[in-house]
């Protein structure tokens, strides 16, 4: 009997829902779920949430407080629907502030605890800046698990492994976007996709050096990218692409397989090494900066919505 691509994918990769849509999560029953400022904004704009958002806005001490309360409320609802991790993101405006990121992470974990959701269920997301990675290293030492997002360059992946983060989210589709904008006539299908190539390089590096950090491909533009990464530790996928995978049948061969760890030890990146490597990687520098700006733009939209409800 033929099975869907989604069913086959689940046999080799943990499928994660990239959404704040509770109905989509109920339908696809993912292992984990990830959110970000853009997805929280989408969820917050749903009409059925408006009355509850108004209550949160009026009860909160300030807009930062209100925005975090909304994120934790949605995350708590998601935690009831998935057995694994729920990722909740620290404000993008803290992307270059290690200490403020740590403080906000503590606040988010405390808010989840007040709703009965333990720290072991939460991944605190932050951008893969040098400061974000150093914040993650400290949080991991404290037992708070982290998800390093907006990851585009190999140096970011190396530094995250050095820091011992729980999970990284290398962005496949946004890497493809960058290259397509510069070479619109090039063939980037399947294994030629530069985003796919980036995740494969990171995956093989992690497995080859025995790093425990989970590789979770993210930001997909088509199911071909997902098929090319079948076997990756985790893949976080939008409801639209989950639906496409569920409706298609055919053979899905495994593309990524963990190799045994080598005896060689990878060199630890210094801050200078990291910043120089990012400077040399035009794509990674461009997309990291753009990603922070885009997340912050959606964060501001959410804050404006909450401010409007607060004053109503």
Which residue in this structure is represented by tokens 């917050």?
Answer: 44
Burial 177-188 (b: 16+ CB within 10 A, else e): bbbeeeeeeeeb
Q: Which of 125, 200, 207, 255 is catalytic?
A: 125
> Diameter of the chain by CA atoms?
63
Question: What's the pLDDT score for residue 78?
Answer: 95
The number of folded domains in the chain is 1
Model pLDDT, residue 230: 98
Nearest to 278 by CA among 124, 93, 99, 132: 132
Among candidate residues 295, 243, 166, 239, the one with its CA nearest the CA of residue 18: 239
Closest-CA residue to 78 (of 117, 114, 110, 111):
117
What angle, 0 to 180 degrees and rounded to 10, lies between the N-to-C axes of helices 282-311 and 63-79?
A: 100
| Strand partners of residue 87 | 34, 123
CB 91 within 8 A of CB 135: no
Q: What is the pTM of this model?
A: 0.95
Provide the token pair at 142. 């404290």
Domain that holds residue 216: 5-311
Please indicate whether residue 200 is annotated as part of the active site: no
Q: What confidence score (pLDDT) does residue 48 get?
A: 87
- Listed in sequence order, the DSSP H helices in the chain are 5-10, 22-28, 37-44, 50-59, 63-79, 98-114, 130-141, 154-163, 172-182, 194-209, 223-228, 239-247, 271-280, 282-311
* Whether 250 contacts 5, CB under 8 Å: yes
Instruction: Tell me what pLDDT residue 1 has.
Output: 59
CATH number of the domain enclosing 209? 3.20.20.70
Which residues touch 260 (CB under 8 Å, ≥6 apart)?
Answer: none
pLDDT tens track of the chain, all 312 residues? 579 999 999 999 999 999 989 999 999 999 999 998 888 989 888 888 888 988 999 999 999 999 999 999 999 999 999 999 999 999 999 999 999 999 999 999 999 999 999 999 999 999 999 999 999 999 999 999 999 999 999 999 999 999 999 999 999 999 999 999 999 999 999 899 999 999 999 999 999 999 999 999 999 999 999 999 999 999 999 999 999 999 999 999 999 998 766 656 678 999 999 999 999 999 999 999 999 999 999 999 999 999 998 887
**Nearest Cα residue to 42 out of 255, 286, 239:** 239
Pairing of strands 167-170, 146-151: parallel
- 3-state helix/strand/coil string of 279-299: HHCHHHHHHHHHHHHHHHHHH
> Please, are residues 281 and 153 in contact by the beta-carbon 8 Å criterion?
yes
């Amino acid at each position: 009997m033929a099975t869907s691509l989604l069913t086959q994918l689940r046999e080799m990769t943990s499928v994660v829902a990239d959404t704040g849509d509770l109905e989509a999560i109920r339908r696809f029953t993912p292992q984990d779920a990830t959110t970000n400022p853009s997805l929280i904004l989408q969820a917050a704009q749903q009409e059925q949430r408006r009355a509850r958002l108004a209550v949160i806005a009026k009860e909160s001490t300030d807009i930062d407080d209100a925005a975090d309360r909304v994120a934790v409320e949605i995350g708590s609802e998601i935690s009831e629907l998935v057995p694994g991790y729920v990722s909740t993101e620290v404000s993008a405006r803290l992307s270059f502030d290690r200490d403020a990121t740590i403080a906000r992470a503590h606040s988010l974990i405390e808010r989840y605890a007040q709703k009965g959701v333990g720290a072991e269920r939460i991944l605190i997301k932050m951008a893969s800046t040098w400061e974000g990675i150093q914040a993650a290293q400290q949080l991991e030492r404290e037992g708070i698990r982290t998800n390093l997002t907006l990851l585009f360059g190999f140096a970011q992946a190396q530094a995250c492994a050095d820091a011992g983060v729980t999970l990284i989210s290398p962005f496949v589709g946004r890497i493809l976007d960058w290259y397509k904008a510069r070479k619109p006539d090039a063939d980037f299908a399947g294994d030629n996709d530069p985003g796919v190539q980036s995740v494969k390089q990171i995956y093989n590096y992690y497995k080859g050096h025995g790093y425990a950090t989970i590789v979770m491909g993210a930001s997909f533009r088509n199911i071909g990218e997902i098929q090319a990464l079948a076997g990756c530790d985790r893949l976080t996928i939008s409801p639209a692409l989950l639906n496409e995978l569920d409706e298609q049948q055919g053979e899905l061969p495994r593309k990524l397989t963990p190799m045994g760890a080598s005896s060689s030890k990878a060199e630890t990146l210094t801050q200078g090494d990291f910043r120089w490597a990012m400077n040399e990687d035009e794509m990674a520098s461009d997309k990291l900066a753009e990603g922070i700006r885009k997340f912050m733009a959606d964060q501001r939209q959410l804050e404006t919505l909450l401010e409007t409800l607060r004053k109503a």
